[in-house]
Amino acid sequence: MIRQQQMQVVQQKVIATNIFELTLTGQLVLDMKQPGQFVHLRVSDQMEPLLRRPISISSIDEATLEFTMIYRADGRGTTLLSEKKPGDQVDVLGPLGNGFPDDKIEAGQKALLVGGGIGVPPLYELSKRLVEKGVQPIHVLGFQSEDVVFYEKQFQELGDTHIVTADGSYGSTGFVTNVLEMLDDDFEVYYSCGPTLMLAALEKMYPEKQGYLSFEQRMGCGIGACFACVCDTTEKIDADYVKVCSDGPVFPSGVVRV
Amino acid sequence: MIRQQQMQVVQQKVIATNIFELTLTGQLVLDMKQPGQFVHLRVSDQMEPLLRRPISISSIDEATLEFTMIYRADGRGTTLLSEKKPGDQVDVLGPLGNGFPDDKIEAGQKALLVGGGIGVPPLYELSKRLVEKGVQPIHVLGFQSEDVVFYEKQFQELGDTHIVTADGSYGSTGFVTNVLEMLDDDFEVYYSCGPTLMLAALEKMYPEKQGYLSFEQRMGCGIGACFACVCDTTEKIDADYVKVCSDGPVFPSGVVRV
Amino acid sequence: MNRLAIELPGLSLKNPIIPASGCFGFGKEYAQLYDLSQLGAIMIKATTPETRLGNPTPRVAETPAGMLNAIGLQNPGLKKVMENELTWLEQYEVPIIANVAGYTTEDYVTVAEAISKAPNVHALELNISCPNVKQGGITFGTDPFVAEELTRAVKAVSSVPVYMKLSPNVTDIVEIAKAVEAGGADGITMINTLLGMRLDTKTGRPVIANVTGGLSGPAIKPVALRMVYDVAKHVSIPIIGMGGISTIDDVIDFLSAGASAVAVGTANFVDPFICPTLIEQLPQKLDELGFETVADLVGRSHRL
Amino acid sequence: MNRLAIELPGLSLKNPIIPASGCFGFGKEYAQLYDLSQLGAIMIKATTPETRLGNPTPRVAETPAGMLNAIGLQNPGLKKVMENELTWLEQYEVPIIANVAGYTTEDYVTVAEAISKAPNVHALELNISCPNVKQGGITFGTDPFVAEELTRAVKAVSSVPVYMKLSPNVTDIVEIAKAVEAGGADGITMINTLLGMRLDTKTGRPVIANVTGGLSGPAIKPVALRMVYDVAKHVSIPIIGMGGISTIDDVIDFLSAGASAVAVGTANFVDPFICPTLIEQLPQKLDELGFETVADLVGRSHRL
Ligand SMILES: Cc1cc2nc3c(=O)[nH]c(=O)nc-3n(C[C@H](O)[C@H](O)[C@H](O)COP(=O)(O)OP(=O)(O)OC[C@H]3O[C@@H](n4cnc5c(N)ncnc54)[C@H](O)[C@@H]3O)c2cc1C
Ligand SMILES: Cc1cc2nc3c(=O)[nH]c(=O)nc-3n(C[C@H](O)[C@H](O)[C@H](O)COP(=O)(O)OP(=O)(O)OC[C@H]3O[C@@H](n4cnc5c(N)ncnc54)[C@H](O)[C@@H]3O)c2cc1C
Ligand SMILES: Cc1cc2nc3c(=O)[nH]c(=O)nc-3n(C[C@H](O)[C@H](O)[C@H](O)COP(=O)(O)O)c2cc1C
Ligand SMILES: Cc1cc2nc3c(=O)[nH]c(=O)nc-3n(C[C@H](O)[C@H](O)[C@H](O)COP(=O)(O)O)c2cc1C
Ligand code: FES
Ligand code: FES
């Protein structure tokens, strides 16, 4: 169920240059069912900035009623968000959208998880759930440069983790595709979140594989009412368009025209 | 000199229902020369609420570089201001305008200080300075009701203090004029800040006395450039109009057409 | 007696709060959050004769205390709206105001004639002002003669009262209001969005793929309020006011300026529960202001 | 070479940052805060033939990310402006753009002819769009024919280049821009304020004594930017852009949209040091964006 709730900041931490990890707590966590879903946050009680910001859920802890997000403080909204301190309230609308299905793969099989920059966070909860299920995840995570790399250790604890930076300042040099070319493709399903160009490259690289891709669009309502976030579709599905917020943000590969 | 400075909150205290006492510190305090001057505050770094809020200086402490304001949290801006905590910064433009002159009266003489509601604060610094000078102040302070009375003790320490409330819930009942009618008029100068109707009543009551009245107007710039805050004048002065922000807020009685 | 009730041509509103067209889809999404029967009415998304896929994305951009949109009237088309959306909405006790759009008088007439026959459509709102669509559209709302003729044409075929939705992008909105009144409009809804633009400062490119978009949200409230106030002075048909409403005070201001009911658009995106919240706050606000009914409050600024 | 310099008819600007008319008086107040010689130019307060006392107060009201004003062109009149204000301003190395207002063509002609002879007045800005003044004023800016004729009349008597200041309260601003260009205008300044209103929710009364006022500040930036972008596409005389500018990104956006320089109004009230701050930030911003000069940046959105 979608709810709107004032949730409390438990922790706010800088984990890389301009990259923040924010943990909130509240009952709404109990409704978070799938990795890859997102929340729509109000960053201010004032009328400016006005709109909510969509941020992916990066890990969920039902026991403590806490969930964590990782985001880059970039524009006005995310900068304000980064100023929230423990005890402050954040107005959360969520959980929204459809995440990564974890029922497409079985214990003992391998899964490929490919993240680009600020698209990495939702893969963390996914990977945890896959591991719990007995699936073996392989992580390929691309970043701009060393100073914005985050969560390497956390992913390593869950499975093989390859870091690649565009400027070569850490891990291998280049794009995630450069790493992927050198890896076996003995995985069952791939999951990815990151820049659209990256998602497009993956679809091209693994035309025969089952894949799940998380897309981004500018949003208004976040719940499917305003038609701000539509994407064109391919012949693969019947609909003329899909909405990232309510039909996605995760779609099977081949559905969204990239 | 007028300056713009990020000043630090030292203390924020509720002193009556919705009435706050806010103490800030910074070098700007050294420029505060006169009781009755005001500061123009930005209450938010965001674009809404947009304009600065004019608030009177209620006491000045050069030694500690601190000054205090007393304000009612009413609209959007003052409510935001009331949420500032010790250590937070407030963007202050000031000191602005011309305050109450304390050179119109001599040691041993009596001064009448009449304040209405949120017009009371600037009289506090004035009274302190008069007392320092050897002047004997009489305070007549009007409020709506008991729950919004403030600073009674502080004024009592400086001189005779009469409290009057409109609903009679504290002190005498009625308006400041009801109290004034019962007092001697053996004072040299009167000083007042409060609703315009009150100021007008005072001028009528003491046509022969020297008086100084502090006026309010909606403001834009606060420094005399935008012509938002003009008041009509009487024949008593040459100018067709005066600006509350830069010519006032304090004017000799009889200057502003009320 | 219901203090919040308002009677308008075709519309017996249990309260004056209506989600604005394009900001509420066809209600399905918000129905997940609360019971739509609470609402005064629902203004559904613009409907055109055929399916429309709208503009390329990005379609929205944030601006100071506002937002731009260039959705481009995306909608499933008349047939599907009637079969799927309106039928689905019948489960709720709420009158529907069908927003009608098009590029020719025939488009409007086609949609108006058909959609006005749906049992739960109690009024039409003619979107003659959408600034997002390149052909036509814009002219209907900016030329008094054209606006009057269109009103007349639609009135001739509609089975329910017709409200004309005015564009604020005009020199003289009173002139347009008078024209649609002369054309037989039963009411006016106003305002649609102001034409605006945002650039990506880094690249210099428009953020909205369509280059320009419609500005809505709190930023435009002063313009909307002024227009409602002016139009209310000069026409005698009722007005449904909108533009930046996001608090109960905003509702009061539009009613005071002469609107008989209000629509809430952008604020739904900021707070999806805004409409029920406003409905809940209204009685207490009436008490505070010393008014017995909403109807008593309508137009009070003109009576001072 | 000065990277920030811009050459416009009559104006050799050392940088493109100009305080907007009515928001900076005649400079005296801001001169207490910083050296006015830093500024690209100064647009002084509207000058009319005679002293004017303006509208009753309240004259300003805050709105979401904006403000309304109805000052009503208060100014000391032509004679005193020339004798006191302009003479005083001569101590600064800064070109003055004299804002001219009036209610008849003769008013404009009288002020323009005289004030254009002041040694430090390098250009005129004709305020044909002030929405605050009840008589006249409004028509000059909303009718293309009238605007063209007025331009011609003023051009005939002015000793310096003439910029026409456009009103945004029109259906088609490009039409007005083309008209003033045809009338011989040397440049355009835009936009003036949008007509708006605020009510006191408690009483239902207009907050501004004049009932309506002009909306300015960040709220109107999207509208202003769209208009500058559209006009730049259709005229070849230069534009000085304004409307809601309060950050260096706003400056870049207006230049990108086609303005050759910008004016900053309301933001002076929020941050009295905004103009020198923007001037200081501009070179670094040019570096970031990879532009050598301000001139290179002008109109880049049209070249993408
Ligand atoms: C489903 C989804 C999940 C996301 N998850 C994450 C995440 O986990 N971590 C993270 O750092 N970022 C995430 N993003 C991107 C994030 O929403 C934007 O970075 C953020 O909205 C930018 O806001 P701002 O205030 O910093 O920028 P501003 O420039 O002030 O934003 C202005 C407007 O544009 C919108 N906007 C700007 N960039 C984007 C963008 N890339 N996508 C969508 N809207 C945008 C804003 O929401 C706002 O409405 C996600 C986006 C989507 C759609
Ligand atoms: C010289 C001067 C000194 C003042 N000193 C004090 C003081 O010491 N303590 C105190 O509580 N109040 C004082 N006021 C009044 C105070 O400025 C207003 O209460 C405050 O601006 C209201 O802001 P808001 O955000 O609460 O209201 P909002 O309704 O959000 O304000 C909207 C706009 O109206 C303006 N405004 C609203 N009421 C007033 C008013 N009464 N006077 C001027 N502008 C107003 C605001 O500044 C703002 O621009 C003073 C006013 C002036 C002119
Ligand atoms: C995303 C979006 C889509 C809109 N679509 C329509 C539409 O289809 N038909 C219409 O008449 N108005 C449409 N509008 C305009 C609104 O109905 C309303 O007139 C306007 O947004 C002003 O109200 P607001 O400030 O409360 O949003 C749309 C507005 C937005 C923000
Ligand atoms: C208080 C105030 C007074 C103004 N007076 C004038 C004026 O005298 N002449 C004029 O042409 N424009 C006047 N304007 C309009 C501004 O010059 C400018 O065009 C408008 O405010 C938009 O810019 P901004 O959003 O940066 O304020 C005034 C604006 C304000 C806020
Ligand atoms: S954001 Fe409104 S439909 Fe997706
Ligand atoms: S507030 Fe601008 S002149 Fe007084």
Q: What is the mean pLDDT of residues D107-122?
A: 97
Which tens digits make up the pLDDT trace of C233-290? 999 999 999 999 999 999 999 999 999 999 999 999 999 999 999 999 999 999 999 9
- Neighbours of D, requiring at least 3 CB pairs below 8 Å, are A, B, C
Q: Is the CB of B222 under 6 A from ligand 6?
A: yes
Q: What radius of gyration do chain B's Cα atoms show? A: 17
Q: In this structure, what is the dihedral angle of CA atoms A175, A178, A180, A183, given to the nearest 10 degrees?
A: -140
At D134 the pLDDT is 41
What is the distance in A from the centroid of ligand 3 to the CA of C131?
Answer: 10
Q: Please provide residue B17's backbone torsions phi and psi, each rounded to the nearest 5 degrees.
A: -60, 115
Q: Could you please report the per-residue DSSP string of A146-162?
A: GGG---HHHHHTTSEEE
Q: What is the mean pLDDT of residues A103-129?
A: 95
More confident residue, C172 or D131: C172
Residue A180 DSSP SS3: helix
Residue B46 with chain A: CB contacts under 8 Å: 44, 46, 48-49, 80
Buried-exposed string A172-181: b where 16+ CB fall within 10 A, e elsewhere: beebbbebbe
Confidence class for position D131, pLDDT limits 50, 70, 90: very low
Confidence class for position D138, pLDDT limits 50, 70, 90: low
Q: Omega of the bond prior to C276 within 30 degrees of 0, cis?
A: no
Which ligand 6 atom sits nearest the alpha carbon of residue B246? 4
C130 is catalytic: yes
Which ligand 6 atom sits nearest the alpha carbon of residue B229? 4
Residue among C18, C21, C251 to mutate when testing ligand 3 (max atoms within 8 A of CB): C21
What's this model's pTM, rounded to 2 decimal places? Answer: 0.97
**Cross-chain Cβ contact D269/B246 below 8 Å:** no
At C133 the pLDDT is 47
Residue B221 with chain D: CB contacts under 8 Å: 23, 29, 268-269, 272
Give the residue from chain A lying closest to D219, CA to CA: A48
Confidence class for position D56, pLDDT limits 50, 70, 90: very high
C229 at D interface, C-beta within 8 A: yes
Q: Please provide residue D156's backbone torsions phi and psi, each rounded to the nearest 5 degrees.
A: -65, -25
At B236 the pLDDT is 86
At D136 the pLDDT is 47
At D103 the pLDDT is 86
Q: What is the mean pLDDT of residues A103-118?
A: 94
Q: What is the mean pLDDT of residues A33-39?
A: 95
Of the partner residues D22, D66, D74, the one whose CB lies closest to the CB of residue B50: D66
C96 beta partners? C42, C121
Could you list the mean pLDDT of each consecutive 10-residue stretch along chain C, which spans 304 residues? Answer: 95 98 97 98 96 95 98 94 97 98 91 97 90 52 91 97 96 96 98 97 97 97 98 98 98 98 98 98 98 98 94
D190: nearest Cα among D136, D145, D268, D257: D257
What is the distance in A from the centroid of ligand 3 to the CA of C22?
Answer: 5
**Shortest Cα–Cα distance, B47 to chain A (Å):** 6
What is the distance in A from the centroid of ligand 5 to the CA of A69?
Answer: 21
Share of chain A above pLDDT 70, in %: 100
Residue D135 has pLDDT above 70, yes or no: no
Q: In this structure, what is the dihedral angle of CA atoms A42, A48, A54, A56, given to the nearest 10 degrees?
A: -60
At D140 the pLDDT is 83
At C162 the pLDDT is 98
Tokens of C131: 């600034």
At D93 the pLDDT is 97
D93 at C interface, C-beta within 8 A: no
Residue D264 with chain B: CB contacts under 8 Å: none
At C131 the pLDDT is 44
D47 beta partners? D100
Q: Kindly report the average pLDDT of chain D as a whole number.
A: 95
Residue D224 has pLDDT above 50, yes or no: yes
pLDDT by residue for chain B (258 residues), tens only, comes to 899 999 999 999 999 999 999 999 999 999 999 999 999 999 999 999 999 999 999 999 999 999 999 999 999 999 999 999 999 999 999 999 999 998 899 999 999 999 999 999 999 999 999 999 999 999 999 999 999 999 999 999 999 999 999 999 999 999 999 999 999 889 999 999 999 999 999 999 999 999 999 999 999 999 999 999 999 999 888 889 999 999 999 999 999 998
CA distance linking residue B175 with residue B164, whole number of Å: 6
Q: Write the secondary structure of chain C as one string of H (helix), E (strand) and C (coil).
A: CCCCCEEECCEEECCCEEECCCCCCCCHHHHCCCCHHHCCCEECCCECCCCECCCCCCCEEEECCEEEECCCCCECCHHHHHHHHHHHHCCCCCCEEEEECCCCHHHHHHHHHHHCCCCCEEEEEEECCCCCCCCCCHHHHHCHHHHHHHHHHHHHHCCCCEEEECCCCCCCHHHHHHHHHHCCCCEEEECCCEEEECECCCCCCECCCCCEEEEECHHHHHHHHHHHHHHHHHCCCCEEEECCCCCHHHHHHHHHHCCCEEEECCHHHHCCCHHHHHHHHHHHHHHHHCCCCHHHHCCHHHCC
Residue D287's Cβ-count burial label (10 Å; 0-12, 13-18, 19+) is: exposed
Q: Write the secondary structure of chain D as one string of H (helix), E (strand) and C (coil).
A: CCCCCEEECCEEECCCEEECCCCCCCCHHHHCCCCHHHCCCEECCCECCCCECCCCCCCEEEECCEEEECCCCCECCHHHHHHHHHHHHCCCCCCEEEEECCCCHHHHHHHHHHHCCCCCEEEEEEECCCCCCCCCCHHHHHCHHHHHHHHHHHHHHCCCCEEEECCCCCCCHHHHHHHHHHCCCCEEEECCCEEEECECCCCCCECCCCCEEEEECHHHHHHHHHHHHHHHHHCCCCEEEECCCCCHHHHHHHHHHCCCEEEECCHHHHCCCHHHHHHHHHHHHHHHHCCCCHHHHCCHHHCC
What is the distance in A from the centroid of ligand 6 to the CA of B218?
Answer: 8
Amino acid at C223: V
Give the residue from chain C lying closest to A44, CA to CA: C270
At A238 the pLDDT is 87
Q: Is the CB of B221 under 6 A from ligand 6?
A: yes
Which tens digits make up the pLDDT trace of D166-214? 999 999 999 999 999 999 999 999 999 999 999 999 999 999 999 999 9
- Sign for the CA dihedral angle at A101, A105, A106, A112 comes to negative
